[in-house]
Amino acid sequence: MAAQQGGAADKAAPLGQRVKAFIIKNYLPIAFLVALGLALAWPVPGKFLADLAILGNVRIVQVGSMALVFLITGLQLNTKELKRVLQPRNALLLGYGFVAILVITPCLGFALREAPLEPKAFAIGLAIFCVAPTTLGVGVALTTACGGNEAMALLLTVGTNALAVATMPPELRLLLPAGDGSGGASGGYNVNVQVTDLLIKLAITVLVPFAVGKTARETSDWVLEFVKAHRQQLSLLSTTALAFVVWQTLSAARDTLLEQRAGPVFAMIGLAIAMHLAYLLGNYVVVWWVMRAPLKEAIAVVIMASQKSAPVAVTCITFLTRDSAEQGLLSLPAIVGQLCQIFIGAGLAKWLSRVVARDEAAKKAAASAQAELGARAAEEGRASDATTLPQGAQGSRA
């Protein structure tokens, strides 16, 4: 009834408010699609910004955009929310979530890199996408929409994105051993995986701004109040920065992208969808049927362990090759893959939210029935006492 009243209230709201609410709710896919459209229609400004590089292949505007994302993540991170799930009963489930995101799911990259796609960069891009950590913000929002444990999703997001700084470089080195442009796993593309160099650049891009943001939140009351008062605006700014990275990368490779035939592009999209579905199925079997996790916690882990972050993958790609056209071809599978995750997740949210609602209603009904049985038992006990006490009194008088 409350949901129906809420839906009726939404329909009764002015058109402008409904449009605004829709845009805010679906801001990330809208931002990604706008970035794609702008890159294809007018690539000049995006290409100019993408080509602004320092220290060799460090694209300063792209790196700055990602640094802003992790700065905002640090500013918004409420440690109290994480402490709620850091309990012994959640240790095994959280451990699986971390291992699945950082170790198990990247293994699919070894199969995807061998996919018979042309250009070969599509297969390599999907493989790199497998190594990325879970999504920034999207997974938490999706978990919330599904009725899952939001705090657990937040912990997996923050933890895996921080640890990915150390796990991604060696995993990419294993995944793409032929990094000298000579062929092999990298298909002749000049994907150069220098573990130490990549680790340092990721640390500067991810860990340093995150630590700055978290420190500012914990040490400054003004910053804390500002973040609380502008939480939604900061989240939209973070998403805009992610789309900004996508826009620059696709703009730089626009001409190369338009040269690709439709068949290989659709094949790559199909593989991106299959990759996400395989993750969902595998994690569902382990978490729900093997580990027998509680429903809300199971939803959080399955969703977070099945998502991959396109912006983090794109940032890594900009560190792996200096060729802007190659960057675009390698990045497209990750961007398409994250859009597929969002649309599949939207369908899952409608179904899972109903499952959680039914589960909550069943729990409330069971608790109510238990309370009623307890009340009846107590009432019967009092009635029994009332009938036995006079008999005892009569016996004592006799």
φ/ψ of 57, rounded to 5, equals -110, 25
| Whole-angstrom distance, CA of residue 167 vs CA of residue 134 | 13
| Whole-angstrom distance, CA of residue 389 vs CA of residue 393 | 6
CATH 1.20.1530.20 assigned to 28-252+260-352:
yes
CB 321 within 8 A of CB 57: yes
Could you report the per-residue pLDDT of 286-336, keeping only the tens digit for each?
999 999 999 999 999 999 999 999 889 988 888 888 787 888 889 999 989
| Whole-angstrom distance, CA of residue 33 vs CA of residue 37 | 6
For position 122, what pLDDT does the model report? 93
Strand 58-59 vs strand 53-54: parallel, antiparallel, or unpaired?
antiparallel
Domain boundaries, the chain: 28-252+260-352
Strand spans (E) along the chain: 53-54, 58-59
Could you report the per-residue pLDDT of 118-141, keeping only the tens digit for each?
889 999 999 999 999 998 878 888
This prediction's pTM = 0.82
Tokens of 234: 């900061």
Contact partners, residue 217, CB within 8 Å, separation at least 6: 74, 75, 76, 77, 223, 224, 227
User: How many other C-beta atoms are found inside a 10 Å radius of the C-beta of residue 232?
Assistant: 10
